[in-house]
């Protein structure tokens, strides 16, 4: 019973988060007049489509204009543009949730569609590919190196890695990416300047895969270099504080083998706070993803966000803000489940 | 008090804190220097005003790069004179000379040549002065560069008449058609070479002025002393030029080089220091103040207040910051105060949650019970008894929060959402990235701003690390 209830509560909190972000977003875009602009642009696009259809049926330009005016008035009503922005809140939320935000101004999918939902669906896998690879590598590095240096606390190795962590915390991932390009792509010319595949992409699946590996290398190295430091440091300090607990000393005094003490008394106990920090680190990695993708021109959500900001595409920015929040909330929920499974104490 | 002294000596014991404090001292010193030497509206007045930078070389490397090069690159040169070097009567008029000399030593031609005149002053409305510009080359040959004639004054204004005082008269010689004609006759007269005006423009006026002619009409830089002169022919002895400048566009400039608009990166980077400091310290101060305050209230008062604060904190704590920050900056336009406000708003909850749990354990201790028993007010207990319990931790968090704020602001600036009224390191990087500095190998544009970001962030990380032994390690929270 306890497990189900805990998860339900966590889920509920996250849903509240999602709804409040949506409400917050809608309030801001409504009050700033942004929603008027977004809706008008959707409406104008629809009007253009209708006009094209009608020109084949109605020849007389005056009659056409009259018909268009009528349709426009209907649409203004249908979109709620005749009402103040706060009356449209539920409708607007529904639009954002279903990504029914019309089409992007400049960005297109590879197949040429510029519907926002199509574009986002195409980009999400690319982001997940880059971010999960980086996340897994960093997690493993943290888990392997962190406990090791924690148990050799105070040695030169420990100090060197702590210093590395401090610097990597202060290192903007995106700037490191620029340096990597400057050095490896511009100076040494051994890695591509960016993108995901060479142009034109190879026909052969295996060659395509190799090409992808070649392209993903530099962003991946950047993400690992910039973020592994804090991962290692987190695990180190958690393990360190667990290792100083009384029950660990008791286990040692009992004469249990050191290996067993480490595995069962230290690492097992440290696992759940480490996971908590994974959860907390997630926000940072999403932010890092946006900027790293931009630097490496990785065709993911981050680059899309940047292009949306650059081309002042309100609808796309809105959709992406929602999607990023959604991904974040979902990822957190998955981690919460893991957390509950790992640490029985969390169950209510 | 002894507690503070003890903590400090413990803090000072580690090398990392000493380095941190040294870094901080430099950071503060540079910021103070910047604020006192550059105008506060530097961003609007100069940095984002392309006109101000026209006579600077574009995308020039830093000057010290020459140390590492066997073939030296030409430095940017700006010559100026404000007093006439000589005066002599001429018919019933006067001639005033303004001479500046320059020793050309490197094996390159200038990128461009600009003449500038400011504050031209004259007294006779019916006969305004004429300014002729010449250059005398190391080989003794003289070239006429330009003639500037001033119209007679027809209005009722009273003398003296002042020209080019608000904005100097700027003459870009490169590509100038009159100069080209003058060079055509110069080449024919001196070297018996006939090259049309289009031919001269094709070769480039700088190359002819600064070149000696080889066998097959190729120009190689002529080394030696050049004298540029502005000759003022005037009717009143008091007529004069306020300032005469000659700008020879170089390939290297200053300590940090220039960007694609010719902006002196050194000045822009310098201005980034106080801004980074303001953002870092401002955000961390406000965040810790609100976070710790609400944490103490939440933990000590308990009940509904506690529930409300905790639920609220929980919700905000779960929101991914960057997407919302982007949206907000996009809608309201990047403003420094807005960025600070948003960073504070989304970051106080994590501190509140931890401080609350610390307060809960402090609340149970006997000295609090004693304080309650003697009738101390709740406010007094919170300020006098609870706060000192959490103070070291809160202080450490404040330090640790500073680099976060600096990094967040630079990330936003890099997305093009920074405050457009002042240059920041993130914005310099953004402009560089947008203009392909990474792909063109303009390392001097990319390397220093990032290094400064890392420097200012690492300063506070080091101080925070130095404080580790002071603060109870079990209560730390890691980001």
Which of A13, A34, A241 has the CB atom closest to B318's CB atom? Answer: A13
* pLDDT surpasses 50 at A125: yes
Nearest chain B residue to A292 by CA: give it. B411
Q: Which residues contact B56 (CB under 8 A, 6 or more apart)?
A: B76, B253, B258, B262, B263, B264
Which of B416, B453, B478 has the CB atom closest to A309's CB atom? Answer: B416
Q: Check CB contact under 8 Å for B429 and A178.
A: yes
What mean pLDDT is reported for chain A?
82
Q: Which two tokens stand for residue B249?
A: 């566009």
Provide the shortest C-alpha distance from residue A66 to chain B (in Å): 36
Nearest chain B residue to A333 by CA: give it. B318
How far is the C-alpha of B54 from the C-alpha of B263, rounded, in Å?
Answer: 9
Q: Of A324, A337, A334, whose CA–CA distance to A128 is shortest?
A: A324
Nearest chain A residue to B479 by CA: give it. A281
Provide the shortest C-alpha distance from residue B329 to chain A (in Å): 10
pTM (predicted TM-score): 0.85
Q: Where are the domains of chain B?
A: 2-50+264-475, 77-248
Question: Per-residue pLDDT tens for A80-124?
Answer: 777 787 777 777 778 888 877 777 777 777 777 778 888 888 888
- Picking from B16, B17, B313, B326 by the largest number of A CB atoms within 10 A of its own CB, the best residue to mutate is B326
Residue B298 vs residue A162, higher pLDDT: B298
- Picking from B431, B478, B479 by the largest number of A CB atoms within 10 A of its own CB, the best residue to mutate is B478
Write out chain A residues lying below 8 Å of B473, CB-based.
237, 240-241
Q: Where are the domains of chain A?
A: 37-84, 122-347
Q: Is A328 on the interface with B (CB under 8 A)?
A: yes
Number of neighbours of residue B231 by Cβ within 10 angstroms: 18
Show which of residues 281-300 on chain A sit within 8 Å of chain B, judged by CB atoms.
281, 283-284, 286-287, 290-291, 294-295
Complex confidence, ipTM: 0.84
Give me the CATH code for the A122-347 domain, please: 1.10.3720.10
Give me the CATH code for the B2-50+264-475 domain, please: 1.10.3720.10
How far is the C-alpha of B403 from the C-alpha of B317, rounded, in Å?
Answer: 19
Architecture of domain B77-248: Sandwich (2.60)
Question: Per-residue pLDDT tens for B388-424?
Answer: 888 888 888 888 889 989 998 898 888 888 888 889 9
What's the pLDDT at B454? 95
Write out chain A residues lying below 8 Å of B476, CB-based.
237
**Angle at the Cα of B363 from the Cα atoms of B360 and B368, rounded to 5 degrees:** 170
Question: Per-residue pLDDT tens for A166-224?
Answer: 888 889 989 999 999 999 999 898 888 888 888 777 788 888 889 999 999 999 999 99
Question: Per-residue pLDDT tens for A4-24?
Answer: 777 787 788 778 878 887 788
Q: Check CB contact under 8 Å for A167 and B438.
A: no
- Picking from B310, B316, B320, B425 by the largest number of A CB atoms within 10 A of its own CB, the best residue to mutate is B320
Query: Which pLDDT band holds residue A311 (cuts at 50, 70, 90)?
Result: confident
Q: What is the mean pLDDT of residues A39-49?
A: 81
Show which of residues 96-115 on chain B sit within 8 Å of chain A, judged by CB atoms.
none
Q: Which two tokens stand for residue A167?
A: 């610097």
How far is the C-alpha of B354 from the C-alpha of B344, rounded, in Å?
Answer: 17
Query: Which pLDDT band holds residue B474 (cuts at 50, 70, 90)?
Result: very low
Q: DSSP string spanning B60-99?
A: PBPGGGGGG-SSPPPBPEEEEE-S-SEEEEETTEEEEEEE
The answer to whether residues A292 and A300 touch, using CB atoms and an 8 Å cutoff, is no
Q: Check CB contact under 8 Å for A17 and B319.
A: yes
Write out chain A residues lying below 8 Å of B414, CB-based.
172, 174, 291, 294
Q: Which residues contact B170 (CB under 8 A, 6 or more apart)?
A: B54, B55, B114, B115, B116
Q: Check CB contact under 8 Å for A166 and B461.
A: yes
Question: A with B: how many residue pairs have Cβ under 8 Å apart?
Answer: 147
Express as a percent the part of chain B with pLDDT over 70.
98
Number of neighbours of residue B470 by Cβ within 10 angstroms: 19
Q: Is A231 on the interface with B (CB under 8 A)?
A: no
Write down how long chain A is.
Answer: 348
Strands B86-90 and B93-104: antiparallel
Query: Which pLDDT band holds residue A348 (cuts at 50, 70, 90)?
Result: very low
Q: Is A183 on the interface with B (CB under 8 A)?
A: no
Specify the 3-state DSSP secondary structure of A85: helix
Show which of residues 18-57 on chain A sit within 8 Å of chain B, judged by CB atoms.
20-21, 24-25, 28-29, 32, 34
How far is the C-alpha of B49 from the C-alpha of B261, rounded, in Å?
Answer: 10
Q: Check CB contact under 8 Å for B324 and A170.
A: no
Q: What is the mean pLDDT of residues B80-93?
A: 87
SS3 content of chain B, % helix, strand, coil (to 5): 55, 20, 30
* pLDDT surpasses 80 at A278: no
Q: Where are the alpha helices (DSSP H) in B148-254?
A: 177-191, 197-203, 205-209
- List Cβ<8 Å contacts ≥24 apart for A307-310: A307/A106, A307/A107, A308/A104, A308/A107, A309/B326, A309/B330, A309/B415, A309/B416, A309/B417, A310/B416
């Amino acid at each position: 019973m306890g497990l189900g209830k805990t998860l339900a509560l966590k889920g509920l909190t996250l849903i509240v988060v999602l709804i409040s972000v949506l409400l917050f977003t809608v309030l801001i875009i409504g009050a700033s007049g942004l929603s008027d602009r977004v809706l008008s642009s959707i409406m104008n696009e629809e009007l253009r489509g209708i006009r094209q259809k009608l020109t084949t049926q109605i020849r007389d330009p005056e009659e056409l204009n009259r018909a268009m005016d009528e349709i426009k008035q209907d649409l203004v009503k249908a979109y709620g543009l005749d009402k103040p922005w706060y009356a449209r809140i539920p409708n607007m939320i529904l639009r954002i949730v279903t990504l029914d935000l019309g089409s992007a101004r400049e960005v297109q999918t590879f197949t040429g569609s510029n519907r926002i939902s199509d574009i986002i669906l195409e980009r999400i896998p690319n982001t997940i590919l880059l971010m999960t690879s980086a996340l897994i590598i960093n997690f493993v590095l943290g888990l392997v190196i962190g406990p090791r240096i924690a148990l050799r606390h105070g040695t030169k190795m420990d100090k060197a890695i702590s210093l590395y962590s401090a610097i990597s915390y202060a290192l903007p991932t995106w700037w490191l990416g620029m340096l990597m390009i400057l050095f490896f792509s511009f100076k040494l010319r051994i890695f591509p300047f960016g993108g995901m595949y060479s142009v034109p992409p190879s026909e052969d699946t295996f060659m395509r895969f190799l090409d992808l590996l070649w392209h993903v290398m530099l962003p991946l190295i950047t993400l690992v270099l910039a973020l592994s430091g804090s991962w290692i440091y987190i695990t180190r300090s958690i393990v360190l504080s667990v290792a100083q607990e009384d029950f660990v000393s008791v286990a040692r005094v009992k004469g249990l083998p050191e290996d067993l003490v480490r595995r069962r008394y230290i690492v097992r106990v440290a696992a759940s706070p480490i996971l908590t920090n994974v959860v907390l680190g997630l926000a940072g990695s999403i932010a890092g993803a946006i900027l790293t993708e931009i630097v490496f021109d990785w065709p993911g959500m981050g680059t899309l966000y940047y292009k949306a900001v650059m081309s002042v595409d309100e609808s796309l920015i809105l959709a992406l803000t929602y999607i990023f929040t959604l991904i974040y909330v979902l990822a957190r929920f998955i981690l919460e489940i893991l957390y509950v499974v790992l640490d029985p104490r969390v169950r209510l | 008090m002894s507690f503070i002294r003890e903590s400090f000596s413990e803090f000072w014991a580690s090398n990392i804190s000493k380095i941190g404090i040294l870094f901080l001292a430099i950071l503060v010193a540079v910021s103070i220097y910047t604020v006192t030497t550059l105008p506060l509206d530097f961003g609007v007045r100069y940095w984002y005003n392309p006109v101000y930078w026209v006579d600077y070389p574009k995308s020039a490397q830093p000057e010290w790069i020459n140390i590492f090069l066997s073939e030296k690159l030409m430095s940017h040169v700006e010559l100026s004179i404000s007093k006439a070097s000589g005066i002599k009567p001429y018919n019933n008029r006067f001639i005033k000379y303004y001479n500046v000399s320059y020793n050309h030593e490197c094996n390159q031609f200038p990128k461009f040549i600009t003449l500038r005149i400011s504050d031209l002053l004259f007294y006779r409305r019916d006969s305004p002065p004429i300014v002729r510009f010449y250059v005398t080359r190391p080989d003794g040959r003289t070239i006429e560069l330009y003639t500037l004639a001033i119209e007679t004054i027809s209005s009722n204004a009273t003398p003296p008449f002042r020209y080019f005082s608000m904005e100097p008269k700027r003459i870009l010689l490169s590509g100038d058609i009159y100069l080209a004609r003058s060079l055509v006759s110069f080449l024919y007269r001196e070297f018996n070479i006939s090259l049309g005006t289009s031919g001269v423009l094709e070769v480039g006026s700088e190359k002819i002025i600064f070149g000696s002619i080889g066998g097959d009409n190729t120009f190689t830089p002529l080394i030696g002393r050049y004298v540029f002169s502005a000759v003022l022919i005037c009717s009143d002895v008091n007529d004069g030029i306020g300032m005469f400048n000659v700008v020879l566009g170089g390939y290297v400039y200053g300590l940090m080089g220039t960007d694609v608009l010719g902006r002196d990166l050194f000045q822009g980077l310098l201005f980034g220091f106080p801004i980074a400091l303001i953002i870092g310290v401002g955000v961390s101060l406000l965040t810790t103040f609100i976070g710790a305050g609400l944490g103490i209230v939440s933990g000590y008062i308990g009940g509904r207040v506690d529930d409300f604060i905790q639920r609220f904190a929980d919700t905000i704590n779960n929101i991914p910051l960057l997407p919302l920050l982007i949206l907000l900056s996009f809608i309201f336009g990047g403003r420094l105060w807005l960025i600070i406000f948003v960073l504070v708003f989304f970051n106080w909850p994590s501190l509140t949650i931890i401080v609350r749990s610390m307060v809960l354990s402090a609340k149970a201790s006997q000295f609090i019970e004693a304080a309650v028993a003697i009738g101390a007010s709740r406010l007094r207990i919170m300020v006098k008894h609870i706060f000192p319990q959490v103070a070291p931790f809160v202080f450490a968090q404040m330090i640790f929060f500073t680099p976060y704020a600096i990094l967040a602001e630079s990330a936003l600036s890099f997305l093009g959402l920074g405050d457009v009224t002042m240059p920041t390191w993130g914005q310099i990087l953004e402009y560089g990235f947008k203009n392909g500095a990474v792909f063109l190998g303009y390392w001097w544009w990319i390397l220093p701003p990032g290094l400064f970001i890392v420097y200012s962030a690492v300063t506070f990380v080091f101080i925070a690390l130095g404080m580790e032994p002071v603060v109870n390690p079990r209560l730390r929270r890691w980001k």
